[in-house]
Chains A and B, each alone.
Chain A
Amino acid sequence: MRGESVFSLRRLGAIIAKEFVQMRRDRITFAMMVGIPLIQLCLFGYAINQDPRHLPTALVNADQGPLTRSIAASLQRSGYFDIVDGDLPERDAREALALGEAQFVITVPVDFERDIRRGRVPVLLVEADATDPGATSNAIAALPRIIDLALEREMARRSVESSAGPPRIDVRLHALYNPEAKTSFNIVPGLMGVILTMTMVMITALAMTRERERGTLEMLLSMPPRPLEVLAGKIIPYIFVAYVQIALILMAAKFLFAVPVIGSLPLLLFCAFFFVLANLGMGVTFSTLAKNQLQAVQMAFFFFLPSLLLSGFMFPFRGMPEWAQSIGNALPLTHFLRIVRGVMLKGNGMPEVIPDLWPICVFLVGSMSIAVIRYRQTLD
């Protein structure tokens, strides 16, 4: 017999090998792991259009005249736009969009007001983060009318007579990241997070509870493997499964839905690792709380539903009331969605990803700690 090692790779190997055999035997679960991604991809082919308001908007303002202020006020009054930054340096505008801090950047050109007085048609550039077309489409549709009204009112108030008919502005829209406003561009990357959440939490919650329900936990505890070895042995096979799912979804994204992958694929896979672990930790935590497999499934759903509804997958995140947004912000899926969409559609790199990666890591540490603490060496 070996010495008293605190962590033994051989014992870990024993559990991993056992898990893979069981996984192979359990055809239905195995089919679920491959089937769920495919079915969901087909089901969620179409998006849900909502009418989110108060979208954060930044102004790159080269003309501080009264007309510009009036237009800004009208935008704010419309309810669609929240002016978060009234005077953003131009070079920061792109970054704000990439980080998701602003949904719109409106650039007012130099001599905007003077040009209008002279009967010229100045260009008002509106850049939109169109990753989620559902989040921006209504606001974009309302935009020309809002600006025209503001202009009309301002001109009437100052009773400026124009020689060349009514004043006009050329509102030029740049829908960034998803220029054709394809909802599948938004949905398909999002599905990666949703599918991983669903399968990882559910399957690990079941895998551990099954050991208890079938009485095999008692034997497992009576043998040398330590809790950490058992936990790691349970989790590692599912990390492998997760990457199979990710590969499936990425291939579907590319070949079925023609979603571009602008950013770095390795970065995406790197971030996915933490997200997968966070969900596995959650699953194990549930399994230590659940008394039987039915309870485990119920708990998994209890976690899955808010993840689905409040993460910004189903409904645009900005369309939700604040309390719902704060719940959403506590869920790893919310942050992972931003990462996936950011990397795939915006080409975000490490610096832009960090703000959403650390909340996932916090969640990961939390869920794993609870899992390890709750998984006891004894049956008490």
Chain B
Amino acid sequence: MLSDGIAISVKGLGKRFDEKWVVDGVDLEVPAGSVFGFLGPNGSGKTTCIRMICGLLEPSSGSGRCLEFDILKQRERIKREVGYMTQRFALYEDLTVRENLLFVARAYEVDTPRLVADEVMEKFGLADRRNQLAGALSGGWKQRLSLAAAMLHEPRLLLLDEPTAGVDPKARRDFWSEIHELSRAGLTVLVTTHYMDEAERCSDLAYIANGKILTRGKPGFLTRESGLSTFRVHGEKLFELANRLRQFDGVEQVAAFGTELHVSGPDAALLTRALEANCGPGARYEPQETLLEDVFIHLMERARR
């Protein structure tokens, strides 16, 4: 078992492709048993980071360990203890559900591949589709199959790279229940996502942009730490109002949510003044809780500057 309760610990992790640093000096600690959300925009280096952690890419700089194994020297050991679910469906589309799982079972050299494949199919509700070609499955079922394949060898750490991209809301919710159940059973999960509702379901978060970690912490802590104030505005002619508000000092984000505007900025006093000046009789405003989404857009804007 892990002595310090840390499942992944990397320091100064970096990856250079040609002259560009895609991941640049990432320090990360993932507590054992957590559901760790790894967030960031497209191309921010999330996937590259995960690939380095599980031994698929050689880091250009830095060091670290994954479980009790060195990520530079003990790749083979890591592969046996980690389940990795790739962003894109990476099982064989021309093999059936059962054949895919049987292949994975044999590749991991489990003692009774047929039995284990059957068990996993039962556990993940795939038994009815055992003889369907993987390529013919819907997005949600492909994702279940991928998860089953990643869990088949009973890993201690699960790495999920945007597991719910292209999956309908019901399947997404089911998937997250599954993740929490696995986590309760002692599994550590590192998951990347774009979805803020998914970020809220994580026990720990880190936000990465342009290859650098901008912030990390528990979800509630991140919103408090950002120091953002947010107001909800409703009324008439919101579109014009939004354009006017954007010109003002202290207004950092103006986003339309249905029939409302969410307006946020780092300085509450400045923000209130801007709202007073612009909201005529046709518009009302009231404070509201800052969302993780507001925090991350704020972080991205700041990173760009």
Question: Which residues of A does B touch, CB under 8 Å?
Answer: 1-2, 4, 8, 10-11, 13-15, 17-18, 21-22, 25-26, 214-216, 218-225, 377-380
Contacts and interface: CB of A to CB of B under 8 A. Distances in A.
A221 B88 CA distance: 14
B109 A11 contact: yes
Contacts of A1: 80, 108-109, 153
Given A215-B88, A219-B149, A380-B58, 18 more contacts: A1-B80, A8-B109, A10-B109, A13-B106, A14-B103, A15-B103, A18-B99, A22-B92, A25-B133, A214-B93, A219-B84, A221-B56, A222-B55, A223-B104, A223-B107, A224-B80, A378-B58, A379-B57
Contact of A378 (B57, B76, B103): B57
A255 B106 CA distance: 43
14 contacts: A1-B153, A8-B109, A22-B92, A22-B94, A25-B133, A215-B89, A216-B91, A216-B92, A219-B84, A220-B107, A221-B56, A222-B86, A223-B108, A377-B75
Contact of B51 (A2, A13, A14, A379): A379
A177 to B, nearest CB: 47
A214 B58 CA distance: 22
Nearest to B78: A222
Contacts of B51: 379
Identify the interface centre among B54, B80, B149: most chain A CB within 10 Å of its CB.
Answer: B80
Interface of B: 51, 54-58, 75-77, 79-80, 82, 84, 86, 88-95, 99, 102-104, 106-109, 133, 149, 153
B95 A11 contact: no
Contacts of B76: 4, 224
Contact of A219 (B77, B91, B95, B102): B91
Contacts of B86: 215, 218-219, 222
Given A14-B106, A18-B99, A21-B99, A378 B92 contact: no
B92, B93, B104, B149: most-surrounded residue (chain A CB, <10 A): B92
A51 B226 CA distance: 86
A15 B106 CA distance: 8
Contacts of B75: 377
Nearest to A211: B92
A223 B79 contact: yes
A2 B113 CA distance: 13
A214 B142 CA distance: 14
A222 B84 contact: yes
A2 B109 contact: yes
B137 to A, nearest CB: 15
B106 A17 contact: yes
Contacts of A219: 84, 86, 90-91, 149
Which of B86, B88, B94, B133 counts the most chain A CB atoms within 10 A? B94
Given A1-B153, A380-B58, A224 B109 contact: yes
Contacts of A26: 94
B293 to A, nearest CB: 29
Contacts of B95: 18, 21-22, 25
Contacts of B103: 14-15, 17-18
Contacts of A379: 51, 56-57
B233 to A, nearest CB: 44
B58 to A, nearest CB: 5
Contacts of A14: 103, 106-107
A192 B104 CA distance: 37
Nearest to B84: A222
Contacts of A220: 107
A17 B149 CA distance: 17
Contacts of B106: 10-11, 13-14, 17
Contacts of A216: 90-92
A26 B106 CA distance: 22
Nearest to A217: B90
Most A CB within 10 A of own CB, among B89, B90, B107: B107
